[in-house]
């Protein structure tokens, strides 16, 4: 009951200074909103990648060259730097070795390079993927028209992503047209249906890629290496055994070289997930700073309030308020301010997140964890920044306070 009385007192004193209370709440609200926005968008990205893997299937295995150390910088390097291409020790021989193993349904290498392409228009930097015919099966892609790469053709053929086709030829139907890649001519034999997942475990926007035979690409670009080998197992039951078999076979084939990783399930998204965690962590720290600024605002306002209401504190003490009564009254005021800020931040954060979704491919990620984080952060900020003003108010001498007219 006493808590209810304290709440009533806190509410009535906040109501007396509506504008001030609102502005302080807004400060906290902006801090909480930035955290909500970051967590929501990062959650959206992670769930996007994870859902892609589950869509592709549990029978997917990926071989990647491993970074020398599993550190934050190596993960960032792995995902963002082109130097990763030089580090790869995977070869077409490995692809052939894997293809011969039991329980392996299809194998496709990913040899990625960025080159300029000349079709009817010039695209100065397009992603060219050297792969095999199995790629379309593993990736579950569909063709809008034409065929995918075939192993038995002697001519240089290429399959083009829908987005890139438009850029290169100004049309979505460029079958039969040619393009120049590193001085060699390639003929377009197929166009992929539009794919709307620019963020995926291949780290490629398939809509903007040109697919050519890995062997053909290797002939015109000697420095090219394979960054990833995608494998689909024939049977999911023996997946673990298949992974072990691939690992052992590759180690033997590569004369004991173990600088590669054989991944399946959630491990495939791990580098992306880790990078997003790092980015979201850093951004959360930045948002945390704005929350601290908001908290300092709360403390500032509460200290002003304590100073202004010194006489009131004296009167309350004279009519029977104890230390804890005054302490609770002021602490609850700070808590109400920050909790209201938390609610405002939640609304603002999700509002902006939904707004961003209209122009980006993400969907805001709503989870109870985010709601708890919003509530807890506002509560903790309220307690931390409300503690000192509340102690200051409660410790005031009633006689001096009664003489004080603010």
Partner 1 sequence: MCYNVGNMPGENETIIRLEGLTKRYGYGDAASFALKDFDLTVKRGEFIMIMGPSGCGKTTLLNIIGLLDTATSGAYYLNDEPVSRISARRQARLRAKKIGFIFQNFNLIPDLPIIENVSLPLVYSGYHKTRRLIKASEALDRFNLKEKEYYMPFQLSGGQQQRAAIARAIVAKPEIILADEPTGNLDSHSSTLVMEELKRIHSEGNTIIMVTHNPSLTVYATRVINMLDGAIDTDVKTVKDSDLPVRVEEKTKKHKKKNKKKRGRR
Q: Which residues bind partner 1 (CB under 8 A)?
A: 1-2, 5, 8-9, 12-13, 16, 311-312, 314-325, 398-399, 402
In the complex, the smallest distance separating the C-beta of residue 320 from partner 1, rounded to whole angstroms, is 2
Q: Identify which of residues 204 and 394 has a Cβ nearer to partner 1 in the complex.
A: 394
Per-residue HEC secondary structure of the chain comes to CHHHHHHHHHHHHHHHCHHHHHHHHHHHHHHHHHHHHHHHHHHHHHHHHHHHHHHHCCCEEEEEECCCCCCHHHHHHHHHCCCHHHHCCECHHHHHHHHCCCCEEEEEEEEEEEEEEECCCEEEEEEEEEECCCHHHHHCCCEEEECCCCCCCCCCEEEECHHHHHHHHCCCCCCCCEEEECCEEEEEEEEECCCCCCCCCCCCCHHHEEEEEHHHHHHHCCCCCECEEEEEECCCCCHHHHHHHHHHHHHHHCCCCCCEEEEEHHHHHHHHHHHHHHHHHHHHHHHHHHHHHHHHHHHHHHHHHHHHCHHHHHHHHHCCCCHHHHHHHHHHHHHHHHHHHHHHHHHHHHHHHHHHHCCCCCCCCCCHHHHHHHHHHHHHHHHHHHHHHHHHHHCCCHHHHHHCCC
In the complex, the smallest distance separating the C-beta of residue 272 from partner 1, rounded to whole angstroms, is 56
In the complex, the smallest distance separating the C-beta of residue 333 from partner 1, rounded to whole angstroms, is 13
In the complex, the smallest distance separating the C-beta of residue 316 from partner 1, rounded to whole angstroms, is 7
In the complex, the smallest distance separating the C-beta of residue 394 from partner 1, rounded to whole angstroms, is 11
Nearest Cα residue to 383 out of 329, 322, 324, 338: 338
Answer yes or no: are the C-beta atoms of 103 and 241 closer than 8 Å. yes
In the complex, the smallest distance separating the C-beta of residue 315 from partner 1, rounded to whole angstroms, is 5
Q: Identify which of residues 256 and 320 has a Cβ nearer to partner 1 in the complex.
A: 320
Q: Identify which of residues 266 and 308 has a Cβ nearer to partner 1 in the complex.
A: 308
Answer yes or no: are the C-beta atoms of 296 and 359 closer than 8 Å. no
Q: Identify which of residues 176 and 406 has a Cβ nearer to partner 1 in the complex.
A: 406
Nearest Cα residue to 302 out of 375, 383, 385: 385
In the complex, the smallest distance separating the C-beta of residue 285 from partner 1, rounded to whole angstroms, is 40
Q: Identify which of residues 64 and 317 has a Cβ nearer to partner 1 in the complex.
A: 317
Q: Identify which of residues 6 and 64 has a Cβ nearer to partner 1 in the complex.
A: 6
Q: Identify which of residues 19 and 125 has a Cβ nearer to partner 1 in the complex.
A: 19
Token pair in block for residue 300:
């500032």
Q: Identify which of residues 2 and 86 has a Cβ nearer to partner 1 in the complex.
A: 2
In the complex, the smallest distance separating the C-beta of residue 314 from partner 1, rounded to whole angstroms, is 8
Q: Identify which of residues 64 and 309 has a Cβ nearer to partner 1 in the complex.
A: 309
In the complex, the smallest distance separating the C-beta of residue 40 from partner 1, rounded to whole angstroms, is 40
In the complex, the smallest distance separating the C-beta of residue 317 from partner 1, rounded to whole angstroms, is 7
Relative to beta strand 184-192, strand 260-264 is unpaired
Q: Identify which of residues 124 and 320 has a Cβ nearer to partner 1 in the complex.
A: 320
Alpha carbon distance 11, 270 (integer Å) = 48
Q: Any residues with CB less than 8 A from the CB of 350 and at least 6 apart, and which?
A: 36, 40, 364, 366
């Amino acid at each position: 009951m006493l808590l209810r009385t304290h709440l009533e007192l806190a509410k009535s004193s906040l109501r007396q200074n509506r504008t001030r209370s609102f502005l302080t709440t807004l400060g906290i609200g902006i801090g909480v909103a930035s955290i909500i926005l970051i967590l929501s968008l990062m959650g959206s990205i992670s769930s996007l990648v994870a859902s892609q893997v589950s869509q592709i299937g549990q029978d997917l295995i990926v071989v990647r060259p491993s970074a020398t150390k599993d550190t934050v910088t190596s993960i960032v390097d792995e995902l963002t730097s082109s130097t990763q291409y030089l580090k790869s020790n995977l070869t077409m021989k490995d692809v052939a070795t894997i293809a011969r193993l039991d329980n392996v349904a299809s194998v496709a290498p990913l040899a990625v390079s960025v080159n300029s392409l000349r079709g009817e228009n010039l695209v100065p930097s397009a992603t060219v993927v050297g792969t095999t015919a199995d790629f379309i099966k593993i990736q579950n892609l569909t063709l809008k028209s034409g065929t995918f790469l075939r192993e038995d053709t002697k001519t240089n053929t290429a399959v083009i992503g829908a987005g890139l086709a438009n850029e290169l030829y100004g049309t979505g139907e460029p079958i039969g047209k040619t393009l120049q890649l590193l001085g060699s001519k390639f003929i377009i034999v197929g166009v992929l249906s539009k794919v709307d997942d620019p963020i995926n475990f291949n780290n490629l926007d398939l809509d903007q890629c040109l697919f050519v035979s890995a062997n053909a690409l290797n002939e015109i670009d000697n420095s090219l290496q394979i960054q990833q080998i995608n494998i689909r197992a024939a049977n999911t039951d023996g997946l673990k055994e298949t992974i072990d078999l691939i690992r052992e076979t590759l180690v033997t084939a590569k004369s004991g070289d173990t600088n590669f990783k054989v991944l399946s399930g959630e491990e495939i998204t791990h580098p992306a997930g880790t990078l997003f965690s790092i980015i979201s962590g850093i951004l959360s720290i930045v948002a945390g700073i704005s929350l601290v600024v908001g908290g300092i605002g709360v403390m500032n306002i509460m200290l002003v309030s304590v100073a202004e209401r010194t006489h009131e504190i004296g009167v309350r003490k004279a009519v029977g308020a104890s230390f804890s009564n005054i302490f609770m009254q002021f602490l609850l005021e700070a808590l109400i301010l920050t909790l209201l800020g938390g609610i405002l931040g939640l609304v603002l954060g999700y509002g902006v997140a939904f707004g961003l979704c209209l122009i980006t491919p993400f969907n805001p990620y709503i989870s109870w964890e985010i709601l708890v984080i919003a509530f807890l952060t506002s509560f903790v900020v309220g307690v931390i920044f409300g503690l000192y003003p509340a102690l200051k108010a409660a410790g005031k001498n009633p006689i001096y306070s009664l003489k004080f007219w603010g």
